[in-house]
Structure 1
């Protein structure tokens, strides 16, 4: 039998051990091919020639970067398969790994199921629910041809003024650790004998997860995005590193570096935390990816030029660099740094080994193209029912009745006439929040789903007259017009990251005034849509009959109607302390002077007959 070069390529043998395949392929690679694998570019610059000739290791879609607006999963799969074929045409045929910000469902894709943001999932305290959401999201992500999901965020929340508050599961490490079960849903559950720290992906129906942002991003001073976390190493380890132990134990394939700093040291250049702690002490064997243009953050406090930033970031331990547009400069600078000996070849080889390990583990060499059989799963009834369940379990009942009065909830679905009011009652985009269609999100009918108003109408049927006014008219308020009760839906508009940093935390769109105006005339349930606790003025708490924190629940508004009308019980518990006024911040359950409006873990049930303690 003639032995051909093809048959002697261990890396092409799917039956060979992963480490043998990694070592064989690495031994065949040139420096340009290695550096190409360390480079991730944005789809808008990823021409077929660039992907092939530069040996690009990864392509991604930035938020709002679609094949075209309202593209469905099939359109995405067509686009990504095109990039993949370009990668396979390179000398060694190494497939790309395609990444996207699918942070609460496959939220860039029109028609996908959008789940509650993490703060709402933290309120459920239901690790199995979160695992099932991970498995469901993996199917919808893989249907679009994407292999890699930049989630979950396992930040421990220190201050709700942070613009990424809703990306955290809560203020306590134990809550975040428990909710990291999302990884087992996304990647599949590793067998008990799987070695700690090694990446693991169960099969083609799973997707590569990314624990982010390492480390301390939720604990910055005054909650500033990309700010400075001031903490001893002991506190950093106890609070912020702890969730990563759970992620690594589940075989998480990738970790993303934080934009933030620790005691003034930029994480993107922190060798101690990235290499000595994450890779050596915690034993993480997957690969470490920068955030979007993350190397450039290194220059801000240190005055470094871009070449210096590349040197510092790679030597600190970053394996793949998210350089969405300036990839040519990155490749040139890293090549020069290696050739000059400022970045050792051993560091490059370590990075490429880690990237290849994940690609082999993910089965990309055997199944590089999209699995079109998964397309019917996108936005299917079963997935939307799971989203509806998640919404039900995420709702936190903060008040139910006035003083010693009987509970106001559940609402009477047989009422003759009800009033529905507010900026969030019939706005799917406001209901979903940020990272939906675009990075900061959008108001309006941005995808397929059910608004709160639509859910209410479906729940009460034709016998109940539902009057909807986005802003209540003077005539309506003056007369009351025989309403049995009002449902007022107010809250925050969509936002993300720095655009969400907020030092005031008042309810936007005159929310407090609207609530008070309605509640003075009509018995009122307030449903607050937000990514965090907001200031609740005394009239809002005192004059209303009931108050529900709904967070940003996603596309399945029917889950809210299920609970407020009594088909299901309220089970959500606050994942964060609800402050009385912003001057108290930061406020968490470990504070010496702990005097919240509602404490961590608070949540009423409608059947218990309890009322608000305030």
Structure 2
């Protein structure tokens, strides 16, 4: 996958008896077929599998959270196939070098197993390598949907893969190809938009991440998620019920996955949600028959975090849930902490004949094929040359361009925009004006994200100050206090604060919070024209406030490069963004989507420009 130290002869061996850990390792012969990179991958896979015990095969199907590894020796002892860092699982210190050191340390443990099978390590790098302090953080997917630019998405995939690979990581749990149909959903911002064509066209991010060959130094395994229908749940409830016909499921939610499979996506993650009462993690028809059969998917089907536990609605997994999920087509099971018990349960179910050995073999063939394709057997360690590119200027410039293209100009009364850089008095206010954490949103150096200086970047206020000329005054007050009629314009940067799945659901109101309302009231009382920059992961209920605003730009969740917002505010970039979702006039309209006959505040695809 990347230039790594070649796996030397002398791989360590031991005896992995069924139900028992590996014994003391010993040296293997250097000329085994699976160790020979000149042989076809399927020959290598078959040779390796012929040498594996049942427990070694079961171990390959486990993906444990790195914090769930009590003793690193357990990786070799139990032949663990994969590790992950969850959204809030970062090493200390949270630096690219520490990530790479951590990865290489875990990999050395895996190589000490009897057959020397390397780990594959996964992270949720959903808008850049967002868990790493100082990495380039791109706009969330909803902003990319506004760009309508497949080539840009592909370039973002390339840069994301390079930064991910620079920390040793092999596997990215992205992109999310969900089609959001109700903006109450807390994962709305992870969707490219409300129609399948957007997700399908922007799935070019997959080819960017995976490159021409998975074995290329800066390529990582991409994941199409969450299969399938999670954007269509009733009332936008996360992990909820998608109660629609199969025809609608296929027409709206399945198409982006079909496209991703055609592009060669290496893995597919299953949704927590249910389709007409059946949890996707146990839905054999949609996984075995549709995904693996009809769509011809040959890669790894991976569960979501503790996804097996949720099949029966009760905490923890049962033997019945384990059997149902494996027989439904799950290949790699994300069991963060209870992975030893999961192996024991799976072994018991196999020995009882409830899970066929052929199903275990199918899963292992898929997993091992990707490991060979990634080049992990030849190059198992981090390419430190890539580590130095994380957060680099060229990467940030691409993110800035993505921010520019994602901005949607929704109102421009009296041509208040673009703002004049010279001889101007500008008053900036709002909780999101000078807060890198707020503008990056969830899944940024932590699962739910956080307000404040969570990482390195340029806030929107900093971008404004860096854009104006010396003759312009830029005043700032977070809550709007201090404004008077001497200012030419007020820029209110307001909207949402960080959240992710579950906590981000808005089953009740979808309006502005009290802090925003109070800030706006102060600005509006001054009589100065107000331009609102809305930082949010979805449309908010603003119809009653809009008449008071001279201008409105939807900035989405732009990530670390707030300069891109300033580029649009001051006309260095003529806005080209188009709404990827329909903007409600009232929250009572949710769900509202193009073609449903409702009258929106702004229709799907709407977006103004400053000039032709």
Matched, 1:532 2:555: no
| Match of residue 454, structure 2, among 430, 446, 457 | 446
Q: Within 5 A, what are the aligned runs for 1:299-314? A: 299-300=312-313, 306-314=318-326
User: 2:28, 2:362 → 1: CA distance?
Assistant: 26
2:547 to 513, 536, 542: 542
Counterpart CA distance in 2 for 1:560 and 1:529 is 10
Tell me the secondary structure at the aligned position of residue 368 of structure 2. helix
- Matching of residue 563 in structure 1 with residue 576 in structure 2: no
2:49 aligns with one of 26, 33, 53: 26
CA deviation map 1:453-498 (0-9, x unaligned): 111111013322211100012xx34x33x10111100010100001
Match of 1:339 in 2: 351
| 1:140 equivalenced with 2:163 (yes/no) | yes
> Do 1:491 and 1:528's aligned partners in 2 also have CA atoms closer than 8 Å?
yes
Does 2:33 align with 1:17? no
User: What is the correspondence of 1:164-313 to structure 2 with a 5 Å cutoff?
Assistant: 164-189=187-212, 201=214, 203-300=216-313, 306-313=318-325
* Separation in 2, partners of 1:450, 1:110: 14
Q: Residue 377 in 1 paired to residue 382 in 2?
A: no
Residues 204 and 363 in structure 1, CA contact (< 8 A), matched pair in contact too:
no
- Distance in 2 (CA, whole Å) between partners of 1:10 and 1:335 is 28
**2:479 touches 2:515 (CA, 8 Å); kept in 1?**
no
1:194 maps to none
SS of the residue aligned with 1:393?
helix
Return the match for 2:76 from 25, 48, 52.
52
2:592 paired residue among 578, 582, 587: 587
Q: Which residue of 2 aligns with 1:602?
A: 606
Alignment RMSD, CA only?
Answer: 1.4
Partner Cα distance (1:415, 1:388) in 2: 26
Do the aligned partners of residues 110 and 5 (structure 1) sit closer, same or farther apart at CA in structure 2, a change above 3 Å counting?
closer
User: What residue number does 1:195 align with?
Assistant: none
Matched, 1:457 2:465: yes
- Is contact 2:480–2:520 with CA below 8 Å preserved after alignment? no
User: Match for residue 14 of structure 2?
Assistant: none
Which secondary structure state, in structure 2, belongs to the residue aligned with residue 497 of structure 1?
coil
Indicate whether 1:360 and 2:384 are aligned. Answer: no
SS of the residue aligned with 1:26?
A: helix
CA contact (8 A) 1:515 1:526 kept: no
- 3-state DSSP of counterpart to 2:342: helix
Shift of 1:375: 1.6
Q: Is the 8 A contact 2:134 2:390 kept in 1?
A: yes
Q: Which of 429, 438, 442 lines up with 1:434 in the alignment? A: 442
Query: Are 1:518 and 2:523 counterparts?
Result: yes
Q: Deviations over 1:526-554 (max 9, x none)?
A: 0000000000042x211111100000000
Q: 2:430 aligns with which of 414, 422, 425?
A: 422
Matched with 1:472 is 480
Say whether residues 1:553 and 2:558 are aligned partners: yes
TM-score (norm 2): 0.93
Q: How many residues align?
A: 583
| Deviation of the 1:164 alpha carbon | 0.3
Quote the offset at 1:250 in angstroms: 1.1
Q: Who is 2:7 aligned against?
A: none
Residues 86-101 of structure 1 correspond to what in structure 2 (within 5 A)?
A: 86-101=109-124
Distance 2:366 2:423 in 1: 61
Structure 2 Cα separation of the partners of residues 305 and 187 of structure 1: 33
TM-score by length of 1: 0.93
Aligned counterparts of 1:518 and 1:59: Cα–Cα separation in 2: 50
SS at match of 2:503: helix
Change in CA separation of 1:446 and 1:509 when aligned onto 2, cut-off 3 Å: farther
User: Cα distance, 1:300 vs. partner?
Assistant: 1.2
Moved more, 410-419 or 145-154: 410-419
Q: 1:158 maps to which residue? A: 181
Q: Any unmatched runs of 5+ in structure 1? A: 190-199, 609-614
**CA shift for structure 1 position 129:** 0.3
2:417 corresponds to 1:413: no
Structure 1 residues 442, 305: closer, same or farther in 2, change over 3 A?
closer
Cα distance in 1 for partners of 2:576, 2:167 equals 34
Instruction: Give 2:494's aligned residue.
Output: 490
Checking the alignment, whether the CA contact within 8 Å between 1:512 and 1:536 is kept in structure 2 is no
Structure 2's unaligned 5+ residue stretches are 1-26
Q: Distance in 2 between matches of 1:217 and 1:416?
A: 47
Secondary structure, in 3 states, of the residue corresponding to 2:591?
coil
CA positional deviation for 1:285: 0.4
- Aligned to 1:522, what secondary structure does the other structure show? coil
Residue 499 (structure 1) aligns with: 503
User: What is the CA deviation profile of residues 76-125 of structure 1, one whole-angstrom value per residue up to 9, with x for unaligned ones?
Assistant: 00001000000000000000001011110000101100000000000000
Match of 1:612? none
- Whether 1:396 aligns to 2:416 is no
Distance 1:397 1:523 in 2: 16
- Cα shift at 1:10: 1.3
- State the 1:201 CA deviation: 1.8
Say if 2:422 and 2:470, in contact at 8 Å, map to a contact too.
no
- Describe the SS at the equivalent of 1:598: coil
Contact 2:139 / 2:399 at 8 angstroms: preserved in 1? yes
Q: 1:513 deviation in Å?
A: 4.2
Change (3 A) 1:435 1:545: same
1:463–1:306 Cα change, 3 Å: same
Which residue of 1 is the match for residue 5 of structure 2?
Answer: none
Q: Which residue of 2 aligns with 1:35?
A: 58
1:67 paired with 2:91, answer yes
